Structure 1
Amino acid sequence: MTDIDSRNDARVVAITGASSGIGRETALRYSARRARLVLAARSEGALRDVADECRAAGADAVVVAPTDISDAAQVRDMFDLAIEMFGHVDVAAQCAAITAFGRFEDVPPEVFDAIIATNLLGAANVARTALQHFQERGAGQLVLVGSLLGVTAVPYQSAYVASKFAICGLVRALRQENRHLPGVRVHGIYPGPVDTPVYASAGNYLDQQTPRVPPTSESPGAIAAAIVRAAEKTRSTERQVGWVNLPAIATYRLVPAVFDAVIGPLIRRVMFTSESSADSAGNVFEPPAARRV
């Protein structure tokens, strides 16, 4: 933890999944604004590195780790600490996600269930706790990071696709339920492929194929910028982020037979190497011990 200064006008921002990728970049962008940050993730060492970067940029940063957002009690503890340290939370950004690659029937049930637990139930835990606090205050911005794969189904990530389709529905329902509260806003940010460690650390059950960052990927900074912009809006919003998103959605909806025919070969070509790898749950159950970026 760090000593809390007297900048009472600085926004208090709680970020889950802040140890790498989109969550890390979001924390760094808010640190440049001298925000007061509450950073949560499963990877304590990596998260403390991010907190040090944020403090070096002039932000206050509190580390809450390890935090598993699939556990509602751990999420409540994170918000309780934020309120204890800073008095309230202005922005809650849910950036944590895990995945595994493989045909549906080849992914072990416990791996499938764990992905749903983190990506969907974890997001619901963050949303529930944040909205209860925001509704009591009469103000607050909730940002849930979904995916292009929440509106376009693709093969070899069935658990991730199912969880992200559910996130899109959850965002819409929460927007509807909170539209009468003028200070409470709910935002959905839906990235296309993003250049993050998720590919290297994902579970993998594809015989002799290893996931890699696809060439169509956006930088995590671009997604973080969209999160920060959304949290400044005076109305609830949803936004696709990435140059590939709109063409993919249009093809998926307008010519579904064409989309379904080409998406499998395309994904196998651009998202996997031919390197041999043993079946692995990756970071589904435990975060990578040494990964920091």
Structure 2
Amino acid sequence: MSKPRPGDVVVITGASSGIGRATALAAAAEGTHLVLAARGVGSLDLVAAECDDAGAASTMVVPTDVGDDAAVRALVDTVLDRHGHIDAFINSAGVVAYGRTEEVPQEVFDGVLRTNLLGTANVARHVVPVLRGQDSGTLTLVGSVIGHIAVPGMTAYAVSKWGVRALARQLKLENADKRGVTISYVAPGGVDTPIYQQAANYDGFEGRPPPPVASPERVAKQILSRLDRQHAWSQLLVSNEVIRFGFSAVPFVYDAIIGPFFRHGAIDRLRPTEATTGNVLAPRQSGNKLHGDQGNALVGIARNVLSSLRG
């Protein structure tokens, strides 16, 4: 199946906002049975109503913190009690922290790893045995181009996403004996979601998606198109490959330009912010939306440059 079929059971974590929310809506339009998971129940209820309107065969909300292994086990048990099987499990839950490594508090740094990396491991621990028992189904891990490169001021996120990529590779090797089981890994680039405003921040300025910026709807379509494609291309933007090439092939050039590019392309210098834990340690449901509000990326870069020139 290049995308979910009517009646398939699709579980999505991080479903209350951004990529997860867009993926839920896209899967709903295919007539699937949806199980929506995130930490905050209020936002999930709103998404469930949207998915019902979009054509979902059914929706079920299961508040879940993927960093809690017992909660993930309970989520999987709940799905099996209701539906008896899982056709696709898409792990989109993720959080971000901005700031130099030594400036990000220990609990925030660890919190990013807990959700992004350990949460992914928790999902794999409980979902993979179900898929192997069925000899069918897909586990999709949502990574990032930052899981293939290095960027200043996002160490916790980069470490977590490098770990997700490694975990995906391990899972593919370990499950190669099950022809019906697909381990899918996707790496978006910049995406127009609220994750940048929701991030923990010790940088002093709000983050923004670097260009080229994809819509969450486009990313959702790409995720669903890879559900049964074990060897599908993982990078969701051509520009990701250009960046990866520069990082690996000419590291001295990459290292020289990534700092200025990050300061102008991935930070909004016209939006100063106080130090905040964001949604890393606890959900901030008021900020959960489908899209962000950063505006045009190139305009944002131009404004950053002008701001720097003006001192």
Shared fold (TM-score, shorter chain, > 0.5): yes
Identify the residue that residue 282 of structure 2 maps to in structure 1.
286
Contact in 1 for aligned 2:196/2:208 (Cα 8 Å): yes
Residue pairs, 1:159-170, within 5 angstroms: 159-170=156-167
Residue 172 to residue 32, structure 1, CA distance change in 2 (3 Å): same
Identify the residue that residue 262 of structure 1 maps to in structure 2.
257
Identify the residue that residue 143 of structure 2 maps to in structure 1.
146
Identify the residue that residue 276 of structure 1 maps to in structure 2.
272
Contact in 2 for aligned 1:187/1:238 (Cα 8 Å): no
Identify the residue that residue 83 of structure 1 maps to in structure 2.
80
Distance 1:219 1:187 in 2: 20
Distance 1:276 1:246 in 2: 31
- Extract unaligned runs of 5+ from structure 1: 1-7
Contact in 1 for aligned 2:96/2:195 (Cα 8 Å): yes
Identify the residue that residue 292 of structure 2 maps to in structure 1.
none
CA shift for structure 1 position 232: 3.1
Distance 1:278 1:292 in 2: 20
Counterpart of 1:289, as a letter, is Q
Distance 1:271 1:90 in 2: 36
Identify the residue that residue 179 of structure 2 maps to in structure 1.
182
Distance 1:210 1:292 in 2: 16
Distance 1:213 1:105 in 2: 23
CA shift for structure 1 position 212: 2.4
2:57 is the alignment partner of 1:62: no
- Extract unaligned runs of 5+ from structure 2: 290-311
CA shift for structure 1 position 57: 1.8
CA shift for structure 1 position 210: 2.0
Q: In structure 1, which of residues 13, 31, 42 is the aligned counterpart of residue 28 of structure 2?
A: 31
2:46 is the alignment partner of 1:49: yes
Distance 1:213 1:182 in 2: 37
Question: TM-score under structure 1 normalisation?
Answer: 0.93
Distance 1:123 1:237 in 2: 20
2:216 is the alignment partner of 1:224: no
CA shift for structure 1 position 216: 2.1
CA shift for structure 1 position 140: 1.3
Residue pairs, 1:71-220, within 5 angstroms: 71-207=68-204, 209-220=205-216
Distance 2:122 2:258 in 1: 33
CA shift for structure 1 position 118: 0.4
Residue 226 to residue 132, structure 1, CA distance change in 2 (3 Å): same
Counterpart of 2:128, as a letter, is L
Q: In structure 2, which of residues 229, 234, 256 is the aligned counterpart of residue 239 of structure 1?
A: 234
CA shift for structure 1 position 9: 6.2
What is the root-mean-square deviation of aligned Cα atoms in Å?
1.4
Identify the residue that residue 297 of structure 2 maps to in structure 1.
none
Distance 1:237 1:100 in 2: 30
Q: How many residues align?
A: 283
Q: Which moved more, 1:282-291 or 1:92-101?
A: 282-291
1:25-64: CA deviation from partner (whole Å, max 9, x where unpaired): 1111110110001100012111111110111122111000
CA shift for structure 1 position 238: 4.8
SS, match of residue 105 in structure 1: coil
Identify the residue that residue 309 of structure 2 maps to in structure 1.
none
SS, match of residue 244 in structure 1: helix
Question: TM-score under structure 2 normalisation?
Answer: 0.88
Distance 2:45 2:123 in 1: 21
SS, match of residue 290 in structure 1: helix
